Structure 1
Amino acid sequence: MPTVLRDIFGNPFRPITFSPSWRTDTVLALAAQMYSSRDFSAMPILADALQDAGSDSAEVLDHCRGPGPHVRGCWVVDLVLGKD
């Protein structure tokens, strides 16, 4: 269960800076598809798309490329989609 909590909340001791410029059409489409389908197998692809959009956040990119589990409510997907 702790890994699921980390997927939803991230690391509460490390605030994440997320640039709105990273929300490209590709990044938004990937995040929206994963959110609606609850299939998070494209998380590494989301990391690549975020990196292509200019993200250099190790925390964000490492989370996307990590083993998961990733679930609906994943903090990176929610950040991309602007969900609170």
Structure 2
Amino acid sequence: MNLDEKFSLIPENLKRQFDRLRKFRNYILAFICAWLCAVLASALLTFFDFTLEFMSDWLDVRELTFYAFACACIFICAFAFL
């Protein structure tokens, strides 16, 4: 019995359930990876404090506001990319 015949013996509801669980797992992993990218970016922004000060002065916003905005943008971009 080849692999296609074995696959055809699996009931459709189990195939749909497996696909649903696989999508759920991928969404959770994408969220975790995006969160880790945001944490890494926040650590890098903290490490390069002079860049953070320069960008906040250049945009004429508070440093904390720019920091939060940059981390949120990185999270959204990483989540959309993944």
TM range (shorter): under 0.3
Structure (1 or 2) with the larger CA radius of gyration: 2
Give the structure-1-normalised TM-score: 0.27
- TM-score, length basis structure 2: 0.28
Larger helix share, 1 or 2: 2
